[in-house]
Amino acid sequence: MCYSAQVEADYEKFVRTYGAIISIKRFVELFWEKRKDGGWTKIPKAMREAFRKPHGEEGFELAKIVAEGDRELEEKLKAEHATQTERLAKAEAVLAGPKPTKKAAEDQRIAKKKIKAAERNLDDLLRREPEPDDSRIYPGSYAPVMIEKDGQRIVVPMRYQCRLPGWDERTERKYPGTYNARRDKLEETWGKLFGHRHGIMIVTKFYENVSRHKMEGRELAPNEEEENVILEFAPQPPQEMLVACLWNLSPHGDHDTDLFSFAAITDEPPPEVSEAGHDRCIVPIKPEHLEAWLSPDPNNLEALYAILDDRVRPYYAHKLAA
């Protein structure tokens, strides 16, 4: 599975390189919705920063939402910091007194942890210099996805976890892995989308959970517990990969707002990914296949499989993620 990915959030590049237009209306709807429902951090920092400077009338509205959403998040983080600082002071007063308690020790531990998290998140929010992690997505967060409608390429913000046709939120909770569309299940599980709703996510790196002993190419030692590590996989030479995706639109699917969601197609891994301990890999398609992929013929699935097979095949260097 593609547990996490570093995506391209420079919308001007979609316009310049691929002739796409930006669905500003949908970005406004999403940003406004996430301000209201407390999901502001589900929108990666790079996606928000891209609209901080307004372009046109709709851009002014979007820039205003970004500024207000970040301000509200700043206030929330400062309030959390103050609450936990007060909690820490009370806990330490008890611990310094004649009758220290286990509860006070636990409150001290939790408060210190939450204070550090609030400070880290505040620093990250207020920082203006971009960092690679600003554009990193996880299941449940949002990313720009390029699709085609009526012959026009459009960039739409979509949630990275696909809600399949006919599903509601309750059904979706039973199947949390739908950010990954396995190639060998495209006609079975994904048949209503494969051949119908195709998209592209531009990725520069991806990340996977693997077991340490598998990464090190060995068996578990006697009495050794399995340990999870996160690996960063980067194509060599460095490049932007056009990752094949499937997407869906669920009308009134999220807080009575239309939900656009997607999954990355994955396949058997190349040797270097397998040897690093992981059994799946994203599928980057070649630029010459972009038009055929974005405007699929549902009556010619063989041609679509051929595009997935004739993929870009870089070498994926890996290292432990920071």
Select from 158, 181, 197 the least CA-distant residue to 9: 158
pLDDT digits (tens, 9 = 90+) for 83-123: 999 999 999 999 999 999 999 999 999 999 999 999 999 99
pLDDT band with cut points at 50, 70 and 90 for residue 132: confident
Residue 85 within any structural domain of the chain: no
Residue 13 within any structural domain of the chain: yes
CB-based contacts of 69, cutoff 8 Å, min separation 6: 31, 34, 35, 40, 48
Residue 32 within any structural domain of the chain: no
pLDDT band with cut points at 50, 70 and 90 for residue 252: confident
pLDDT of residue 2: 61
pLDDT of residue 146: 96
Residue 269 within any structural domain of the chain: yes
Whether the predicted pLDDT of 320 surpasses 80: yes
Whether the predicted pLDDT of 59 surpasses 90: no
Q: Give the global pTM.
A: 0.90
Select from 166, 151, 179 the least CA-distant residue to 291: 151
Whether the predicted pLDDT of 311 surpasses 80: yes
pLDDT of residue 113: 97
CB-based contacts of 94, cutoff 8 Å, min separation 6: 100, 101, 104
pLDDT digits (tens, 9 = 90+) for 260-307: 999 999 999 999 999 999 999 999 999 999 999 999 999 999 999 999
Select from 279, 275, 306, 276 the least CA-distant residue to 293: 306
Residue 195 within any structural domain of the chain: yes
Residue 156 within any structural domain of the chain: yes
pLDDT band with cut points at 50, 70 and 90 for residue 9: low
Residue 81 within any structural domain of the chain: no
The CATH number covering residue 254 comes to 3.90.1680.10
pLDDT band with cut points at 50, 70 and 90 for residue 56: confident
Residue 95 within any structural domain of the chain: no
- Crossing angle, helix 56-96 and helix 102-126, to 10 degrees? 150
Provide, rounded to the nearest whole percent, the portion of the chain with pLDDT above 90.
80
C-alpha to C-alpha distances, 126 to 46, 94, 119, 121, nearest whole angstrom = 13, 35, 11, 9
Token reading at 256: 């009575």
Dihedral over Cα of 125, 132, 36, 149: its sign: positive
Contact 20/216 with Cβ under 8 angstroms?
no
Dist CA 217 CA 46 (whole Å): 36
Whether the predicted pLDDT of 182 surpasses 90: yes
Looking at the structure of the chain, the number of domains it has is 1
User: What's the mean per-residue pLDDT of the chain?
Assistant: 93
CA angle (199 as vertex; 194, 205 as ends), nearest 5? 115
What is the extent of the structural domain holding 201? 4-22+134-320
Question: Average of pLDDT values for 177-191?
Answer: 96
Whether the predicted pLDDT of 186 surpasses 90: yes
CB-based contacts of 71, cutoff 8 Å, min separation 6: none
pLDDT digits (tens, 9 = 90+) for 199-221: 999 999 999 999 999 888 889 98
